[in-house]
Amino acid sequence: MTKVLTIEREYGSGAAAIAKILAKKLGWKLWDQRLTDEICRRMQCDRQHVEQQEERRDPIHYRFFKAFLRGSFEGSLNTPKMGIADAEGIRKMTEQVVREIAVEGDAVIVGRGSAYYLHDRPDAFHVFIYAPFEEKVRRLQLDGKTQDEAIQLVESVDRDRAAFIKEHFEVVWPSRHFFDLMINSTLGEETAAQVIVDSLRVVQDSNTDHLTLP
């Protein structure tokens, strides 16, 4: 029985909006910003800091600083009090939370490596959402970015995501064999969401256990 849907995406592809529609159609809980909020709550750190570190590798100078703190007696005592939340610490917490969400079920999880953490779960359905470069730039401009800002974001954010996936899962992003469905968001947000729901229904109907989907 399918009870969790993961959404991996290219930056600017409109996946967040599609995921929101999906969660409403399915009557499932959406874990996008809610996931970041939960990680912040558990790690007792600032939300903006977590958002900047999610799906990114630590800068080398920060890794050296972290190693210095952990390598000294006073540093090892004071580090927990400083509340340092590095990318690796956030990654470990993210994995823990994502796995807990999957056990609870009825969840749509956006990004954060969820498709890779849950790839071995038979009750998970994994979707990758993409769009042409020009379309992603256009979407970001509609959100208030300049053309130069949009181009820089489209190029750099996905590069960081690819590096994150390569480092922690040793695969080349997006690693198509991890996904049950890959869909072009230029179909339109509502249409793309319905295609995903229909695909879930087909997969579910092919199994002996059945889940009633809209």
| Residue listed under structure tokens 């005592």 | 77
- At 121-145, the pLDDT tens digits run 999 999 999 999 999 999 999 989 9
- At 111-124, the pLDDT tens digits run 989 999 999 999 99
Q: What is the pLDDT of residue 41?
A: 87
Q: How far apart are CA 130 and CA 108, in angstroms?
A: 17
Across the range 168-178, mean pLDDT stands at 89
The structure tokens listed for 80 are 């927990």
| Residue listed under structure tokens 């869909």 | 183
Q: Who contacts 6 (Cβ-Cβ below 8 Å, separation ≥6)?
A: 108, 109, 110, 114, 115, 118, 124, 125, 126, 127
Bridge partners of 108?
Answer: 5, 30
At 128, is the secondary structure helix, strand, or coil?
Answer: strand
Task: State the angle between helix axes of 33-43 and 87-104 in degrees (0 to 180), rounded to the nearest 10.
Answer: 120
- At 58-101, the pLDDT tens digits run 554 455 445 544 444 444 444 444 455 667 787 888 899 999 99
pTM for this one? 0.80
State the CATH architecture for 4-205.
Answer: 3-Layer(aba) Sandwich (3.40)
Domain boundaries, the chain: 4-205
- Residue 31 Cα distances to 37, 138, 176, 211, angstroms: 10, 26, 22, 21
